[in-house]
Structure 1
Amino acid sequence: MNYSNKSIGKNISILHRFSQAYIVRKLREYNIGSGQYPFLITLLKNDGISQEEVSHMLHIDKGTTARAIKKLEEQGYVYRIVDEEDKRVYKVYVTEKAQDVKKSLFKALEAWRDVLMKNFNEDEKKKTVQILEKMTENVILYTKEND
């Protein structure tokens, strides 16, 4: 099969749009949108990290991170505290409200992963994740080299 005329970008775009729509639908009752859930997931897994660390982990600019965290804070999912060692840095912590949503959030993500991986054997699942991780690494490296 000739892969040169197959569109990786198109497929990634379609997967992204459907993924966003699915997650937003599943999290609607919590008023968590597509712009906030990646940040909330990161903070649920890494409570007490700085906004800058969140930006770095998600490979998202600091301004976007600040806006998303501000929205999560306004909704009562996180709170920020100035770092005692560096007053310019905010540490971000999840609230009890965020902990209450955690199970539903991760359940929705797991269900979506199951949709994406339906009819894949274990080897295909493993290989797909490896390929996607490698593509992500390539994009990060390319961006660092060309910015």
Structure 2
Amino acid sequence: MSLEEFKKMDASALPAGKLITMTARGLNIYVNHHLESFDINATQLHLLFEISHQTNLNQEKIASRCGINKGAVARSIKKLEDKGLVIRQIDENNRRQNKVSLSDKGKETLNQSISILNDWEEEVIDKNQLIEKELLKKVLKQIVISTIEINQREVKDE
């Protein structure tokens, strides 16, 4: 469907999930394009965000928080480690697990990436002035919480 066709559609005729999916896909395209200079992608940026929220996070917890399988997280962490963005160390309490933290380069990359996301927010949310940004963030956070709760209740680990 073209942009012009989409503009003509009645928003009430579209499921909210479809609109959220389209927004997420569009954001991923935008972010991936702008992250090319950092040689990372949106998924790796998501991992950097998670790692930045807690020091020495293990890979299993990162996988759980990101909703990504452990193998994919291990591969992404390895790429981030090879680029000098994260530091992976064996957990002294459980030698089968690795603790992961951001390197200085990883912190700098994350900070620069946040400006990319802020630019997108300004262009998409602030410019259109359809809803106050803080209200939108609160609503989206609640949607995320509800989605996680539904998935924890109804979806079994695969």
Q: Which deviates the most, 45-54 or 73-82?
A: 45-54
Aligned twin of 1:120: 129
Structure 1 segment 1-147 matched on structure 2, within 5 A: 3=12, 5-118=13-126, 119-120=128-129, 124-146=132-154, 147=156
Distance verdict in 2 for CA 1:102–1:35, change over 3 Å: closer
Q: Point out where structure 2 has 5 or more consecutive residues left out of the alignment.
A: 1-9
Identity value in percent: 26
TM-score of the aligned structures, taking structure 2 as reference length: 0.79
1:135 CA drift (Å) = 1.6
1:15 CA drift (Å) = 0.9
1:45-84: CA deviation from partner (whole Å, max 9, x where unpaired): 3332111222232233322222211221122211210111
TM-score of the aligned structures, taking structure 1 as reference length: 0.84
1:145 CA drift (Å) = 1.5
Q: Match for 2:77: what amino acid?
A: I
Q: Deviating runs (4+, > 4 A) in structure 1? A: none
Distance 2:101 2:109 in 1: 14
